Structure 1
Amino acid sequence: MLKNRNISFKLLLVLLLAIACGPTKDNFFNRRYQNLLARDNAYFNARLKLADAVKTLAAANVDDHTRVIDVYPYGTEKDGKTLLPAMDEVYKKCSNVIQKRPISKWIDDCYMVIGQSHFFKRDYFAALETFQFVGSKYKIKNPVISKEAEIWIVKCYLYLGKLGEAEAVMSGLLAEKNTPKELLGFLHATAAAVYIKQEKYTTALEQMKLAVPLTKGREKKIRYNYILGQLYERAGKNTLAIFHYKRVIKRTPPYEFEFNSKLSIARLYNPKDKNASKQVRRYFKRLLNDDKNIDYFDQVYYELGNIEY
């Protein structure tokens, strides 16, 4: 009998706690409860879905190695359309958190994810508006997320083709001294992306030099080192270009990056060194004997032709 009373009391306690923790009531227990619900359900799932979609987009991306490749591998407009259903779902999940859990501490994060869902739908104006809202509203309350939103504003202008606006906002961000350390890699990589698009390769090189050591993640390290190699090559600094191409190879990259890094290293040999010239010819001919390189034969023949003539 006593046991049954204890069970009944516990059930009553849970019921009262649930009533006390209505979605709009602001007290300590309710905030903790709403934070838990928001993070462990809709927001968490939305973040995962967004990350998966971006990985899918990167996997479909095809780089043009005859020019400095894009900092962000976001593919074509056609590739972006494949993400529309997933981004709509991400938007709905985060919107529900904002509406149903308004006192959750994840609200600012939800707005950021909503902005990113607009961005990857290629609705850059809606993304821009969302990031401007986050940058302004949370400047004091959450300066890290506010600064992240401001960097995303630059990306919006970049992908809208508004390079003047992108550079203006970026210049202001670079001049500030209070950028959180965890955002510095993102800041400098985005600056490099803007300057590459403007064909200001010397300035882009300086920004990418800063971005590489501050960036985490194998895929980003591979891509940024490769871009740095390309930028050094354009600047005529072949030794440094080779150094970064070798760093790409050491990270066991996708074959496309391995092949193009090796091709670039071979291309940067000293033409006055006859022995090096012979080694490069042999290397190119080995590439032509490997069917794995059939998609790259035109590049090999082009480089081989440059040596022969």
Structure 2
Amino acid sequence: MNSPTSTLPANSLPMGSTAGNKSTPPKRIARRLPVQKLWPMWAIVATQAGVLVVFVALWEIAANTGFIDAFFWSKPSAIWSTMITFFSQGDAFTDIAYTFRSTILGFVLGTSVGALLGMSFWWSRNYALIMQPYIICLESIPKLALAPLIILVFGMGLSSKVAIATALTLIVSTLTAYSGVQAVDKDQEKLFYSLGASRWQVFTKLVAPSCVPWIISILRVNIGLALTGSIVGEFVSSQHGLGRTILYAGSTYEIALVWVAVIVLSALSIVMYIGVTWLEKFLRKGVVH
């Protein structure tokens, strides 16, 4: 019995093969990386606004129809009327300025002092080893739990809120700057010394510039921590501030006022975040140049 292949014509060859049993490799299909086309900015902004409008409309409808309890959740129309009253008759601008000042002061103090403290560890390994367990211990302690003690020491004024905001940002900046010190290129350091540079010159020309990108990377985190510290300080004891407004409105069940303070606080945090982002870009350009 003949095999099926024996009946094939002589000029009939399988696909992908040639005479002499030489096979040609199949052609490879060139694959392109998937490229996602970005929408124009106006489309993105319009979509974001549309999502917000839909959310607010559903919230209003749910509150009016009784699907959610308007007493606990309030509704956009009541929040809007309360916001108008808050800005026209209340202490809106005083509270915003109070929270803004304490946040910025705590941010600047915590970041600058922490960065200097972290870079100072470069001068002595013994000094760094002695201070390291204390820094780690302070980092592990929940600083917010110390807020009542800080209020008692610094009083009910602005200084206590600045102290809490500074405490939250100080240790983070210290550890970040110290990581930058440890990442300094030892070969470059030896090169500086071989060229006759002093320790101060090595610190100012090599160590400090090497730590700047590390410090810049922590700015966005620190502004959020500083704002948290200010709000917590206002929760504990304060005469002004958005945190005090939220605490007061919650204790009197003025839910609409709570939402107003939260919305204003969110807007303030976005403004400060944008400012820190601009500062970060400015500092990065200075480091590159």
**Structure with bigger gyration radius:** 2
TM-score higher than 0.5 here?
A: no
TM-score bracket, shorter-length normalisation = under 0.3
Q: Which has the higher contact order (CA 8 A, sep 6+)?
A: 2
